[in-house]
Amino acid sequence: MSKESKSKIGLKGISPNVTVSELLIGSKKTVTGYHSQEYRPSELTKPIKCFAKDAWLGVGFYFWVEVMYAHYWGQDKKIYGKSKSYDIYSADLKIENCLNTVFNEEHYLFFKQMVELAIKNCKSINRTVTLDEVHVFLAKVWSKFGIEGIIYDDKPINPKNKSRVYSEIPDLYYEKRIQVVIFDMKNIRDFELYLEEQQ
């Protein structure tokens, strides 16, 4: 096992002295992400921003860290209309100022604390606690702290393809399904078509 690096990374106002292993995503400045979209005759020149009220990390550009999960997302969510196929794009994502809830304990605890604060805020003003309401509140928090994205471990539930096996051990999903949401296009570089017309 390799020794841990004492490299310091930080998010403005959160944790300027985080020690992480160089093997972990948190020590990288960039990571390759994969963006699934329904097939279009014209190739996209930039990713499509998600504004859905049920987007679990709020408004932003969503990418998977492993292409396999981009395929799954394409199969489950992006096949519709006449083409019945999807495309996968790749890009270099600048993640220096992303909140890393997957591999960084301090970032995870901060994320959890802010979600709980958002829930408390909704209740205090007699608003129904919804994903959308929580993310409206959180968007202000992320902006205040200079957070430009979130690295998140998505849980593999309810696949459209019932034959898909996420784990040979029922209920032990030991593989992380890492997703990155980037809030601003300035942190997305070299966006290009990776795989075309997948079915």
Within the chain, strands assigned E span 8-9, 18-19, 30-38, 61-64, 86-94, 98-100, 149-154, 177-182, 188-198
What was the pLDDT predicted at 54?
Answer: 85
What was the pLDDT predicted at 199?
Answer: 76
The answer to whether residue 2 scores a pLDDT higher than 50 is no
What was the pLDDT predicted at 142?
Answer: 94
- pLDDT tens string 18-28: 433 333 555 67
What was the pLDDT predicted at 158?
Answer: 54
| Contact assessment for residue 25 and residue 151, using Cβ atoms and an 8 Å cutoff | yes
CB-count exposure of residue 64 (10 Å: 0-12, 13-18, 19+): buried
Within 6-104, strands assigned E span 8-9, 18-19, 30-38, 61-64, 86-94, 98-100
Instruction: List the strands of the sheet with 98-100, edge to edge.
Output: 98-100, 149-154, 177-182, 61-64, 30-38, 86-94, 188-198
- pLDDT tens string 116-173: 999 999 999 998 999 999 999 999 999 999 999 999 987 766 555 666 666 566 666 6
Name the amino acid, one letter, at 81. Answer: G
pTM of the model: 0.80
H-run or E-run covering 67: helix 67-77
Q: Give the whole-angstrom CA distance, residue 156 versus residue 159.
A: 7
- pLDDT tens string 46-96: 999 999 988 889 999 999 999 988 998 888 888 876 678 999 999 999 999
Q: Give the whole-angstrom CA distance, residue 154 versus residue 19.
A: 24
- pLDDT tens string 183-196: 999 999 999 999 88
Strand 177-182 and strand 61-64: the pairing is antiparallel
